[in-house]
Amino acid sequence: MSDPTRQLPYPDALDPDGLPAPHPLLAPVAGLLGTWAGRGSGEYPTLAEDFTYAQEVTFSHDGRPFLAYEARAWLLDADGAPLRPAARESGWWRLQPEGRVEALITQPTGIAEMLVGRADSQAVDLATHQVALTPTAKEVDATRRRYTLTDADTLDFVHDLAAVGRPLQHHLSARLRRAGTSVVW
């Protein structure tokens, strides 16, 4: 039986100023470390209706040159109340010299994305390197993601999608606030 009070010898850190110190290659993405929450909206030409959603995103590290990434979203009704669980994903953002990023992100819908791109202290841009699909997953050809630190506590996110036979186009936009600041679901 595992003991829930047992401390991992190498816990993940959410705070860039805490211990372990972030690996130097994480410098361009240090501003992302922590938990973010907020709201977004989405659309796609195959969908009958646009939608609004809430999302929580966490970036952490264990001292090595990658971010652990986790995100979960749920749809909201017209009054802003939770409607049902939506997209979840988790993965690893591997930082390379000169702010180059290699990201691996998987979703429970059977989609595994490998993305490459660049980070500077203001923004991270990622675009598809490869997509792998389980046999029953929806067809996804490519995605493009931009994460912008509008200020130290505000993270804007835009996600474009080429899927189900449609060319790359807007799927999601969200504004997230650093947890502990004024979060609006």
Residues 1-40 that bind ligand HEM (CB under 6 A): none
Nearest CB to ligand HEM, comparing residues 103 and 163: 163
CB of 64 to ligand HEM, least distance (A): 25
Nearest CB to ligand HEM, comparing residues 28 and 42: 42
User: Nearest to residue 145, comparing CAs of 97, 105, 183, 178?
Assistant: 105
How would you write 61-111 as a 3-class SS string?
ECCCCEEEEEEEEEEECCCCCEEEEEEEEEEEEEECHHHEEEEEEEECCCE
CB of 39 to ligand HEM, least distance (A): 10
The stretch near ligand HEM (CB under 6 A) out of 6-14, 20-28, 57-65, 138-146 is: 138-146
Instruction: Give ∠ CA 84-87-89 in degrees, rounded to 5.
Output: 140
Q: How far apart are CA 104 and CA 67, in angstroms?
A: 11
Q: Work out the widest C-alpha separation in the chain, in whole angstroms.
A: 50
Nearest CB to ligand HEM, comparing residues 20 and 85: 85
Q: Does 172 bind ligand HEM (CB under 6 A)?
A: yes
Residues 37-96 that bind ligand HEM (CB under 6 A): 42, 44, 46-47, 51, 53, 55, 73, 75, 86-87
Q: How far apart are CA 73 and CA 53, in angstroms?
A: 7
User: Nearest to residue 93, comparing CAs of 60, 122, 123?
Assistant: 60
The residue of the chain with the least Cβ separation from ligand HEM equals 46
Point out which residues bind ligand HEM (CB under 6 A).
Answer: 42, 44, 46-47, 51, 53, 55, 73, 75, 86-87, 111, 113, 138, 140, 143, 161, 163-164, 171-172
The annotated binding site for heme b is made up of 46, 138, 171
